[in-house]
């Protein structure tokens, strides 16, 4: 069967389980001569990273911080969940807003088209 075209896809629930987030106590790590640090398996598991994943790092007030994309996504989802209103579907609201905006634009262009036709008719009558 051919693949479906367009944007049809199964909706995924927004709620994301944060129970996978955990902490690991301080651990002493060595920096080799090339400046590399090996992140222990327990820490990689807590960070939700595996070999080949990309992480983001920063230094804040002398503290080296590494974060994975999965952790950032979960943090953003938790923040968004705080602002979600029960019973309100933001996607449906967004689509409705865009459709209303498109309706107003169409009305404006229809009005401009009528006015242009009236002006052209008035010019033709003067000739």
Do 55 and 80 lie in one domain? The reply is: yes
**Which CATH number belongs to the domain containing residue 69 in this structure?**
2.10.260.10
User: What pLDDT does residue 8 have?
Assistant: 53
Do 103 and 116 lie in one domain? The reply is: yes
* Within a domain: 110: yes
| Number of domains the chain contains | 2
* Within a domain: 106: yes
User: What pLDDT does residue 86 have?
Assistant: 83
Query: Lowest-pLDDT range, 16-20, 79-83, 123-127?
Result: 16-20
Decide: helix, strand or coil at residue 28: coil
Residue 16 has pLDDT above 70, yes or no: no
Do 74 and 96 lie in one domain? The reply is: no
Q: Name the burial class of residue 110, with classes exposed (0-12), middle (13-18) and buried (19+) by CB atoms within 10 angstroms of its CB.
A: exposed
pLDDT tens-digit series, residues 82-118? 888 788 788 888 999 999 999 999 999 999 999 999 9
* The two structure tokens encoding residue 17: 């389980």
Q: Which domain covers residue 116, as residue numbers?
A: 86-127
Do 46 and 91 lie in one domain? The reply is: no
pLDDT tens-digit series, residues 45-92? 999 999 999 999 999 999 999 999 999 998 898 888 888 878 878 888
Decide: helix, strand or coil at residue 52: coil
Do 76 and 96 lie in one domain? The reply is: no
Dihedral angle of Cα 110, 113, 118, 119, to the nearest 10 degrees: 140
Bigger pLDDT: 114 or 7? 114
């Amino acid at each position: 069967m051919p693949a479906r075209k367009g944007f049809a896809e199964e909706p995924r629930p927004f709620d994301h389980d944060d129970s996978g987030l955990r902490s690991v106590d301080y651990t002493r790590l060595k920096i080799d001569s090339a400046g590399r640090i090996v992140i222990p398996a327990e820490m990689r598991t807590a960070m939700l990273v595996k070999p080949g994943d990309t992480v983001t790092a920063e230094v804040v007030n002398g503290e080296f911080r590494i974060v994975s994309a999965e952790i950032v996504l979960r943090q953003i989802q938790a923040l968004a969940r705080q602002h979600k209103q029960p019973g309100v579907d933001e996607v449906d609201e967004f689509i409705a807003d865009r459709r209303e905006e498109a309706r107003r634009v169409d009305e404006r262009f229809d009005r401009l088209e009528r006015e242009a036709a009236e002006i052209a008719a008035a010019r033709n009558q003067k000739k």
